[in-house]
Amino acid sequence: MLSKAYDPQSVEGRIYQMWEESGVFRANRDSGKEPFVISLPPPNATGQLHLGHAVMLSLEDIFIRFARMQGKEALWVPGTDHAAIATENVVIRKIQDEEGITDPRKELGREEILKRIQAFVEESQATIRSQIRKMGSSCDWSREAYTMDPSLNRCVNEVFKKMYGDGLIYRGHRIVNWDPKLQTNVSDDEVERKEETAPFYTFKYGPFAISTARPETKFGDKYVVMHPDDKRYKKYKHGDTFECEWINGKVTATIIKDTTVDPEFGTGVMTITPWHDTADFDIAERYSLDKEQIIDFAGRLLPIAGEFTGMSIVDARPKIVEKLRKKGLFVKVDENYVHNVALNSRGKGIIEPQIKEQWFIDVNKKVVAWKKKKMSLKEVMQDVIHSGDITIIPDRFEKMYFHWIDNLRDWCISRQIWWGHRIPVWYCIGDGACTLECKGPMVSVEPLEQCPHCGSTNLEQDPDTLDTWFSSALWTWSTLVDRKLTDDFSRSLEDILNQSPDFQRFHPTSVLETGYDILFFWVARMILMTTYATGHIPFKTVYLHGMVRTRDGKKMSKSDPEGCIDPLEVIPTFGADALRLSMIVGQSPGHDFSLYKEKIAGYRNFVNKLWNASRFVLLQCENASVDPHAVKTDAVEHHQLSLADKALLSALQNLVEDVTEKLQQYRLSEVGEKLYSFVWEYFCDWYLELSKDEANPPVLIHILRTLLQLLHPYCPFVTEELWASVKSKDAGMLIKESWPTVVEALQDQESFDHFQRVIDTITAIRKVRADQGVAPDKKIAVVVHSEKWVELLESQQEHIRRLARVESLTFAPYGEHPEEVASVFLQDIEVHVCLEGLIDKEKERERLTKEQEKLEGFLKGVQAKLGNKQFIKNAPADVIQKEKEKLQTAMEKLQKLEERLNSL
RNA sequence: GGACAGCUAGCUCAGUUGGUUAGAGCGUUCGGUUCACAUCCGAAAGGUCACAGGUUCGAAUCCUGUGCUGUCCACCA
């Protein structure tokens, strides 16, 4: 016997273990079934999972379980990401805090730091694995991957080599987003901007006045730039020079005329600092101007700053202003100037643009073979979406995607950190015998020990590592390559892919599900790298979920515990099923949504309701001495069925049809709501209530089984646990059960309609009773339109009386009580509840006239639609049929309405 | 500056081809409840669907404009 309330804690662990040990999670390569594959977006191995991960796991598990039950070969590859900067940052800080070492990189060295990070990562991975299991995720643990696995490293090196060979990877001096705090550069996408109010100074610079928020970068400024059409500075010509007094003495300045200068801003004149500003760099490149470094990589001023050398920016700024003031070069200061400060999204260090030699991926070079053409990486990225090879849900993100590509610049892939895939490039620092070839970078997929040109063993590997997104961009396929093959360095990438059975069978993957916040970081890069490296798209559909927010719409963060929910705290009390449901229902793709305890509690109640409904069903079986396990699936067809049985069974068929269709369209929220209301309102509040008068155990069992099947992807634990009590003898675990199909023999529309009529009648009586303030003991007469319905309602009289809370009830065909009727119009039926002497005729007439007008308009519209030749030609047959039916019922209704109006 | 969303009950949100009385959960109020479930049952109150125009017999839904909120992209010295 089941316990009185569902206790998730005593069930979930046991059920998960049972699934895992049975091997259902493992995808079979040789099954011949249609594959359905998801690569789990690998969580960062930096600690714990949060609600964002929980959302992702819930959504993907629903996709996977649904596919599995539909008879597909479902594969869900789990894994973790080494998250280069994020992880290194966390560990360095940990060492600083726990061991008091101020500069761990310097004091411990590369080897030791890497060892520490590795240990930290392993710990995190263990935590993450257990947390994924707690959510009930049915992923294939035998295929678990990690972005730093040796086989993935091989893929990374292969792609690097291929790209280098194609000229897509190059090395160059460019302005990069340098983070002096973390001592590395970051990609454009990792830069965050924060609004800040800062003093905005204006200084005299020769005959001009120039403005700046950053006086500390101005030491070397020797170019004055203005718009060529600016009339105020007409007398100055491009290339003119002049001498002027500046911070540390006289400088010779050159005039540059460039259209990127906005004459409206400030004085319309500016000086440039090419080394520390992207826009200035571009101008300098255009006119081949000198570039000079002012600030070093630690954020301190270089000797060019004279007396300020070695000072940090913060310290130097006011002192420089002071000096300029003393020299009489100060003009004014605007204290309320608002501008954006660039921050590193990891660690929030202030970005100082610097010129550095870095590795880049060229996104514009047309060398990628795609669809029998030579395209640039940009063009390939655009093509796969334009052509419909990949669809994004919701589709508005396609627009954002294209917009992003239009603005995309070459991708800087090198990072000056230690944790990550080291750039597979070696330099010969030879012994004198070096040839010209040895001097350049040598790319190799395996550690290079000897220079192939001069034979020297004195080689040095590039110290930098690759952007973490470089390796995660290969995730859909690098996880599917055969790990034995990647150890064999004689094989080519193409060969490895061709010989990897998993890759051949399971790639491209079916759905890539992730948060919209990493559409550019990750999704776009996967498309770019995978199409290039394998010649195939990485996935067919992209499903983007929204961000979880607190009740007040704030972002959830650990630093602000107000409203923040930790999945690990919630699961023991409410259960993983409740948590899953609370995150899926009411959430539409691409939109942020709020989560709070009350919401989860609501779904905990639902899970408990389902539990108790099952308990009740089992109780009914016991009372009738029916063994639930002995009930055959097709038993219901041979049984005596009541009107309610038929109606519920029919509604269930409609539900199966509806739910299946919507799941295929990824409309998970709607499906969740449908299931919720069906279970609670139809199954529990109606059908089980009726069963108290007269129960049909085989039907109860059948309905319950079907509902458990339909609910399983959403709340796998409770459904699997209940399944054990109601499944037929020869059935196995629910997770392996096949998805319900519509049994047409049970789809009995007429019974369903009749039952609906009964329900509507009850609703109508209740409504009229409430409207008119009628006491339950007052006699109520229900007037209906045909003898047939009178008969139907009379057969259900007891049930109606009970549920409508009326003591005395009669039914009469229309026409017998026309004088004293208050009508309630419901969706498809009119029920007139008769209450002697209580009707306000004037009001009733007014209401009916309004109703009549509306109906006439509606009829006109439908008639026009049916009269439209194009509509008849183009619309599918069932739509036309529906319209015709609409017309028919509306006409009937109008006729009745007129009759009633006349009778008043 | 550019783009994309959102604005529906006190709160959080559904609402896919325009259709007859706009829904749910939570919260509030009232009533009930030994026999599946108080993690329950029944009911009520609460909405000019942001605003203004337009198309239509009919608009939360389509079009135009405005306002507010949010997000992303690009950035000006």
pLDDT digits (tens, 9 = 90+) for A506-535: 999 999 999 999 999 899 999 999 999 999
Q: Give strand pairing partners of A454.
A: none
* DSSP-assigned letters across all residues of A785-805: S-HHHHHHHHHTHHHHHHHHT
| pLDDT at res. A855 | 80
Q: Which of A390-394, A412-416, A865-869 has the lowest mean pLDDT?
A: A865-869
Q: What residue has token string 């400024």?
A: A221
pLDDT greater than 60 at residue A821? no
Tell if A258 CB is < 7 Å from nucleic strand B. no
Is residue A461's pLDDT more than 90? yes
Q: Which bases of chain B are contacted by protein, using any atom under 7 A from a CB?
A: 2-6, 11-17, 19-21, 24-27, 36-44, 56-58, 72-77
**A62-96 pLDDT, tens per residue?**
999 999 999 999 999 999 999 988 899 889 999 99
Between the CA of A80 and the C1' of B31, what is the distance in angstroms? 55
Q: pLDDT by residue (tens digit) across A140-187? A: 999 999 999 999 999 999 999 999 999 999 999 888 899 988 888 888
Within 13 Å of residue A435, how many CA atoms lie on the same side as its CB?
7
Which residues from 704-723 of A have any strand B atom under 7 Å from their CB?
A: none
Which residues 50-89 on A are within 7 A of strand B at the CB atom?
none
- Residues of chain A (534-593) having a beta carbon less than 7 angstroms from strand B: 549, 551-553, 586-588, 591-593
Q: What pLDDT score does A776 carry?
A: 63
Which residue carries 């006086």 as its tokens? A215
Residues 295-334 of A with CB under 7 A from strand B: none
Q: Identify the CA nearest to A419 among candidates A146, A84, A95.
A: A84
Distance of CA A545 to the CA centre of its chain: 2
CA-to-C1' span, A845 to B59 (A): 27
A329-361 per-position pLDDT tens digit: 999 888 888 788 888 887 788 889 999 999 999
Other Cβ atoms within 10 Å of A62 Cβ, number: 23
Q: How confident is the model at residue A195 (pLDDT cuts 50, 70, 90)?
A: confident
Distance A583 CA to B8 C1' (A): 21
Q: In whole angstroms, what is the distance from residue A502 CA to residue A482 CA? A: 7
- State the pTM of this model: 0.91
Q: What are the structure tokens assigned to A499, written together?
A: 């010989």
For residues A859 and A895, what is the distance between their CA atoms, to the nearest angstrom?
A: 12
Question: Å between A767 CA and B43 C1'?
Answer: 10
Alpha helices per DSSP H over A135-216: 150-165
pLDDT of residue A772: 59
Cα separation, A568 vs A134, in Å, equals 8
Tokens of A323: 């000096």
Q: Which residues pair with A253 in a beta bridge?
A: A242
Between the CA of A844 and the C1' of B56, what is the distance in angstroms? Answer: 29
pLDDT score of A835 more than 60: no
pLDDT of residue A819: 43
Instruction: Tell if A863 CB is < 7 Å from nucleic strand B.
Output: no
Tell me, letter by letter, the H, E, C secondary structure of A565-608.
CCHHHHHHHHCHHHHHHHHHCCCCCCCCEECCHHHHHHHHHHHH
**Nearest residue to A858 via CA among A831, A885, A886, A879:** A886
- The whole-number average pLDDT for the span A416-438 is 88
Cα–Cα dist A493/A503, whole Å: 12
CA of residue A869 relative to chain centroid, distance:
43
pLDDT tens-digit map of A401-414:
998 898 888 899 99
Which of A35, A351, A55, A327 is CA-nearest to residue A190? A351
- How many Å apart are CA A203 and CA A149, to the nearest integer? 56
Instruction: Indicate the average pLDDT of chain A.
Output: 88
| C-alpha distances in Å from residue A88, one per residue of A45, A110, A155, A570, A868 | 11, 11, 22, 30, 68
pLDDT at A825: 37
- Measured CA to C1', the nucleotide nearest A213 is B77
Order the strands of the A391-393 sheet from edge to edge. A73-77, A35-39, A509-515, A539-545, A391-393
Q: Which residue would you say has higher pLDDT here, A255 or A561?
A: A255
Helix (H, G, I), strand (E, B) or coil at A254: strand
Q: What does the block give as tokens for A67?
A: 């596919």
A141 touches strand B (CB under 7 A): no
Residues A877-903: what's their mean pLDDT?
76
Residue A766 CB lies within 7 Å of the nucleic strand B: yes
Cis? peptide before A508, omega within 30° of 0: yes
Residue in this structure with the two tokens 């269930």, named with its chain if needed: A652
Neighbours of A420 (CB within 10 A): 26
